[in-house]
Amino acid sequence: MDMLKCLLFGLLLSLSLCDGAKILAVFPIPSPSHGILGDNMIKHLLDGGHEVTYITPYVSKQPSHPKLRVIDVTDNNKAFSDKVLNVKQIMSGAMNLQDNEILFEIMVNVAVTTFENPNVQNLLKDPTYKFDVIIGEYLFTNVYSTLAAVLQCPYIWFSTIEPHSMVLNLVHGPLNPAYYSDYLLAQIAPYSFDVRVKQLWSLLKGLYLQSGYFYDREEEIYMKLIAPIAKEQGKPVPNYNDLKYNASLLLGNTQVAIGSAIPLPPSYKHIGGYHIEEPVKPLPEDLKKIMDNAKNGVIYFSLGSNLKSKDLPDDLKQGLLKVFGGLKQTVLWKFEENLPGTPQNVHIVQWAPQQSILAHPNLILFVTHGGLLSLTEAIHFAAPLIVIPVFADQFFNANKAQRKGYAVKVDLTYRLHEDLRVALDKVLGDLPKYTARVQELSVAYHDKPMKPKDALNFWVNHVVKTKGAPHLKSVALQVPLYQRVYLDLIAVIFVALIVLLLIIKKILCLVTGKKTTKEKTN
């Protein structure tokens, strides 16, 4: 019966699909985790029968798919130097990656480098390139939406992190700051009064930057690098504001079981987890042997793909080795070079097949930096966490995971080894509780109407079939922000109160004036 249901679902899904569409996928961020998301999205789109042109800084050396055209933007890697994402720089405070303006400048520079790339310019200037839809990665800048001015087809945003006001404002409006945090503030509701005030201020500041400096900078890039191509081809040049708010859909690398249950517009679709391989690849023999023989379980420690453990201060590395060496569990540490003096129970892995490690039955704890891909994989494979956030949304992810009860957060400081020892004692001392909680969330995560990769293809096809899915666009976009929050009503009430007070004051003056005159007469 289950097999029959699967066959019927597959048949219905195939009937709902349109003929393969021509898709431009723009994943220009030179970060390995973003490359993972881009590569897997392309894989699923190709499996769905589409023809894909892929803008990426990660050009595979493997034979290309016959329906795939890769646009090489490897020059984008220059925008992500070691100085930007260096652990010591972040720990010392020399680089603050929790600042919206700094993150915007980094990402807008990546956008400029992408648009100026000769390969991208050749693509845009060649009128033979026709697309049915564009999928553009969103990260701190809206300027990729301007590609639709030249290519004249629907545009889909893809957000790599949890829904937040900056990206939701493009398809609906900002979230209510009374119950949902700016991801850089990383607060978890319910809030105290002072936190609600900070949340409101952060939202207002963000909206001001979006409509002011950020907008002007992006419009300048559009008019310099994109609009002239549209003019040359005899196409209209829309106002940047119209392009910015004209997305048909917003795909999110999210699932409710991992994030928060918040009201979202119809154009927001969860597809988080599509990057997870099915079935999971087998472990290499050496790692399999280590994990199979781990009688007390395995703890896996990784700072992710952007940050390098080898860049940690030497004293801290030695302190961590001492902490790990004092455990009865086997420790796998993703480390980018050989590390001398490792205890017998600590194994250095320069390349770690993370999903395969997390899927192993002897894995009992995952110590992570808190990137959303890692959290998604932890929920998928039901692995408890210790989270050491470093930048961007990782603090928000860490706080949510801790609030949900399957993780403990530890700050990245020069005493990390001491704080991590305390966190390990806490989690390992009550491991059944943390394991049970993450298993509950894993059940909720897996219980969905279709797999994320199928949801991806379904909604992309839906946008193509419905010529931009105008029926999903939020009516909130037609209403100015000041009307949505009733600022005009507040202004009317305020003016009315002032007028009323003036009238009352005038009446009192007249009454008291008459009394004074009458008294003088008497």
- 124 in a domain, yes or no? yes
459 and 440 share a domain?
Answer: no
pLDDT at 322 over 80: yes
Q: Which domain, by its residues, includes 499? A: 488-521
Query: Alpha carbon of 109 to those of 28, 79, 113, 227, 309: distances in Å?
Result: 11, 7, 6, 18, 27
At 18 the pLDDT is: 47
240 and 293 share a domain?
Answer: no
440 and 458 share a domain?
Answer: no
84 and 99 share a domain?
Answer: yes
197 and 261 share a domain?
Answer: yes
- 4 in a domain, yes or no? no
> Six-digit token pair at 399?
């706080």
Question: Which strand (E) or helix (H) includes residue 441?
Answer: helix 431-446
290 and 406 share a domain?
Answer: yes
Q: In angstroms, rounded to a whole number, what is the distance separating the alpha carbons of residues 327 and 429?
A: 12
464 and 432 share a domain?
Answer: no
Q: In angstroms, rounded to a whole number, what is the distance separating the alpha carbons of residues 182 and 185?
A: 5
Q: What's the residue count for the chain?
A: 522
116 and 236 share a domain?
Answer: yes
Q: In angstroms, rounded to a whole number, what is the distance separating the alpha carbons of residues 134 and 153?
A: 7
Q: What is the pLDDT of residues 33-64, one digit of tens each?
A: 999 999 999 999 999 999 999 999 999 866 68
Q: What's the rounded mean pLDDT across residues 63-73?
A: 91
Q: How many domains does the chain have?
A: 3
Q: What is the CATH number of the domain that holds 173?
A: 3.40.50.2000
Identify the residue with better confidence: 7 or 266.
Answer: 266
pLDDT band at 520 (very low <50, low <70, confident <90, very high): low
- 360 in a domain, yes or no? yes
Q: What's the rounded mean pLDDT across residues 259-266?
A: 91
At 84 the pLDDT is: 62
Q: What is the pTM of this model?
A: 0.89
271 and 397 share a domain?
Answer: no
- 179 in a domain, yes or no? yes
- 483 in a domain, yes or no? no
Q: What is the pLDDT of residues 349-380, one digit of tens each?
A: 988 999 999 999 999 999 999 999 999 999 99
> Six-digit token pair at 502?
């003036």
320 and 428 share a domain?
Answer: yes
- 6 in a domain, yes or no? no
- 337 in a domain, yes or no? yes
- 2 in a domain, yes or no? no
50 and 117 share a domain?
Answer: yes
190 and 294 share a domain?
Answer: no
